[in-house]
Amino acid sequence: MGAALAAIVLAAGPAAAAPSAAAPSAAAPVCRIDDERLIEISGLVADGSGYVVVNDGADDADGRRIFFLNRRCAVARAVAFPSRPRDTEDLARGPDGTLWVGDVGDNGGSRETVALWRLKPGAGAPRLYRMSYPDGAHDAEALVVSGDGTPMVVTKDPMTAGIYVPEGNLRAGKTTPMRKAGEFAIPVTGTSNPFGLPGRLVITGGATSADGRRVVLRTYADAFEFDVSGGDVVRAITEGEPRVIALPDEPQGEAIAYSGDGTALLTVSEGSDPEMIRYPIPGRTAAPSPPASLAPASSPPVPQPVAAAGGTTVPWGALVLGAAFAAAAGFLGIVVARRRRSR
């Protein structure tokens, strides 16, 4: 995988220039998730009563649930899947409160179909819907919804993520074909993250605000937020200019969500006893900080957002000299992390 990405970097030419980052705001811990079943969190949604999370393809049956957390990040209840998911990666909520779980991970690029699980408000179990890509298998870790509640998959293809939407209504027991609705050329930043350059080149999560007016995509390093007009999320991502919010040095940042009031981004990394972090969105009225009692007294330092390198194109002539090594090393780290989780 590292060699393949190195080849992409060498052949791709100039990358999209990163838009100027907004002035950084102080990140703050919200709460720590200390449930032993939740060590691979990859999907997150927030609402007025707490949070909802899913794990990344958990091998432990107890971890294959949709978990509802209270405001202190303690598990209030968990909803089981009626059959084993393949590789759940993200979580999104529609305008009507429906929860969608994106069972769309495909590290080996071998799945003939991917799936969505729909949990309607008040339902006791989610329902499975299968989908297929029009152009072969893709790995994906991001799920967002349009203004009319249509779920959309955003792939983890390096440098340029594909946006795929179902053609027609989803039907249980059938496979719904998807169409490629657009692409997102990922702006290159200089934000620090554990995977170096490759960590800035892949989309690992997404979210739509509760009012449908904004959508955000993230990498292991940054969040890219877009304004949405008329519920057209595809147009927002493909034609809009994103605001860049740096998410520096998160251990393995994949899950992202809007806070209930839409004034901040919330993130959680994979790992034991992960901490939820709140990043106020510059220029928006900030909600009051969580009570100190929600955060553990011995919380480690929270990574502070810094202005992502923006406004100019990264000098690719210089990057090429080290890109093969950086890409190989960075993606080797990602592969090793996933293999450790699968043991």
For residue 108, give the CATH number of its domain.
Answer: 2.120.10
Q: Is the pLDDT of residue 245 over 80?
A: yes
User: Do the strands 90-93 and 75-80 form a parallel or antiparallel pair, or are they unpaired?
Assistant: unpaired
pLDDT confidence of residue 60: 85
* Torsion region of 219: left, alpha or beta (phi above 0 gives left; psi -120 to 50 gives alpha): beta
Residue 260 in contact with residue 44, Cβ under 8 Å?
Answer: no
pLDDT confidence of residue 182: 98
What is the spatial order of strands in the sheet that 253-258 belongs to?
A: 28-32, 275-280, 264-269, 253-258
User: What tokens does 274 get?
Assistant: 């992960």
pLDDT confidence of residue 16: 59
Q: Is the pLDDT of residue 308 over 80?
A: no
Read off the pLDDT of each residue in 300-304 and give the average, rounded to a whole number: 47
**Across the chain, what does the average pLDDT equal?**
84
pLDDT tens for residues 127-151? 999 999 999 999 999 999 999 999 9
- Res. 321 pLDDT band, cuts 50 70 90: very low
- Res. 1 pLDDT band, cuts 50 70 90: very low
Read off the pLDDT of each residue in 163-170 and give the average, rounded to a whole number: 97
pLDDT tens for residues 200-231? 999 999 999 999 999 999 999 999 999 999 99
pLDDT confidence of residue 166: 98
CA 312 to chain centroid, in Å, comes to 25
The number of folded domains in the chain is: 1
Task: Please report the DSSP string for 109-156 in residue order.
Answer: S--S-EEEEEE-TT-SS-EEEEEE-SSS---EEEEEE-TT--EEEEE-
Domain region containing 70: 2-342
pLDDT confidence of residue 311: 38
User: What tokens does 252 get?
Assistant: 């393995």
pLDDT confidence of residue 4: 41
Q: How far apart are CA 293 and CA 16, in angstroms?
A: 43
Read off the pLDDT of each residue in 176-186 and give the average, rounded to a whole number: 99
Q: How far apart are CA 196 and CA 329, in angstroms?
A: 9
In terms of DSSP H, where are the helices of the chain?
A: 2-12, 233-239, 316-342
- Res. 59 pLDDT band, cuts 50 70 90: confident
The values of phi and psi at residue 330, to 5°, are -65, -50
Residue 276 in contact with residue 69, Cβ under 8 Å?
Answer: no
pLDDT confidence of residue 57: 77
pLDDT confidence of residue 319: 43
pLDDT confidence of residue 330: 43
SS3 content of the chain, % helix, strand, coil (to 5): 15, 35, 50
Residue 253's SS3 state is strand
pLDDT confidence of residue 119: 98
Which residues fall within 8 angstroms of residue 291, CB to CB, at 6 or more apart?
Answer: none
Per cent of the chain over pLDDT 90 is 72
- Res. 26 pLDDT band, cuts 50 70 90: confident
Neighbours of 254 (CB within 10 A): 25
Q: CA of 68: how far to CAs of 30, 34, 73, 84, in Å?
A: 16, 14, 9, 19
